[in-house]
Structure formats: structure tokens, C-alpha cells
Amino acid sequence: MSTTGRRPAAQQHAQDDRAVELWGRVINGFEVTNRRIHDAIDEEFSLTAAETQVLLSLHRQPGHRAPMARLAQAASFSTGGFTKLADKLTHRGYVIRAACADDRRVTFLEFTPEGRELADRLTALTARINHAAFIDVLGEQRAALVADAMTELFRANAPSAD
């Protein structure tokens, strides 16, 4: 039997093991670091990871306001799942819904004064923890490389918005 164009089984097995091991190391590093960050946020603010993601994303938007559909897509939520999350944040007094004057199909999410103050404090805490658990560990340059690589993976593997 010819092995022309095919790798020997042992070599293929070693490459398969390496591929699995590489991704496992990425996941292990991400999970332990992410848990450290979210444990500190939960302890300080009693927010879930999803709530945190939305509040931090909204905090980075111009005018601290964005269409709910855009926030849902950025957080990889279905529109229904995001609506439930927005309801929870609204009920807690952190955000309000605002209609778009130009397009009745668009609803914006924006901070209440209490939500804005919370988001400012949340951003500051998250930045401190990210420095201690991520940037200071890897250094600014390597942390940026990791972030760029993960952005590339997100773009390549996220479901299309079609």
C-alpha cells in the first residue's frame, strides 16, 4: 500500500494530539482567567457574565446608547435572549429602551444615570482585573496579539448576520 500524499498514521496521530492540546491550552487559560475576572465582578456588583458583557459594550458606544439588535449580535445573543437580558437590566434600573426617531423598527438601549455610574465603576474594576490577570501577565504586546488572534477567530467562526 502506497503512502504517497498521506502521512504515516503515527505522524497524523501526533499532529491530531497537538491540535487538540493547543486548543485545550487556549481554553484552560481563558476559562481560569475569565472566572477570576467574573468572580470579582460578581462579588462587587452581583452581575452575571452576560449582564457584564452588555453593560461594558454599551459603555463603549458613542453616547452610551446603541440599537438592541447590534448589542445582541456583539454579545452573540439571539434577539429573544437579548430581550430577556434587557428586561432584567431595565428592571434593575440600569438601562431604558428608547425608540429610534428615524426607524420604528429600531429600539435603542441606553443607560439610566444609575446604570451609567455602575458602568463607570464596572469598567474601572474590569480594567484593573484585566491588567492583573491578563495584560501584566503577558505584557502589553503579547496581550494585544492574543486579543487580535481571538478577534480573527471570532470573525472566521461566528455565524453570519444574514
**Is 17 a member of any domain?**
no
Give the pLDDT score at 24. 95
Q: Would you give the end-to-end CA distance of the chain in angstroms? A: 47
Answer yes or no: are the C-beta atoms of 37 and 52 closer than 8 Å: no
Place of cell 501526533: 14
pLDDT in tens, 44-80: 999 999 999 999 999 999 999 999 988 988 877 887 8
Q: 1 or 53: which carries more pLDDT confidence?
A: 53
Q: What is the pTM of this model?
A: 0.81
Looking only at the bridges linking them, the beta strands covering 107-111 and 65-67 are antiparallel
Structural domain of residue 71, as residue ranges? 48-153
145 assigned to some structural domain = yes
Asked if residue 75 belongs to a domain, the reply is yes
In a domain, 35, yes or no: no
Is residue 37 included in any domain, yes or no?
A: no
User: At residue 5, does pLDDT exceed 70?
Assistant: no
Q: Are 122 and 45 in contact (CB under 8 A)?
A: yes
DSSP characters for 99-119?
A: E-SS-TT-EEEEE-HHHHHHH
Give me the mean pLDDT over the 99-110 stretch.
87
pLDDT at 73: 83
Residue 113 falls within a domain, yes or no?
yes
- The SS3 assignment for 2 reads coil
* CATH number of residue 104's parent domain: 1.10.10.10
Decide if 43 is inside a domain. Answer: no
pLDDT of residue 79: 77
Asked if residue 19 is part of any domain, the answer here is no
Q: For residues 109 and 159, give the distance between their C-alpha atoms in angstroms, rounded to a whole number.
A: 23
What secondary structure does DSSP assign to 118-135, as a single string?
Answer: HHHHHHHHHHHHHIIIII
When pLDDT is averaged across residues 110-115 and rounded to a whole number, the result is: 96
Q: How many structural domains are present in the chain? A: 1
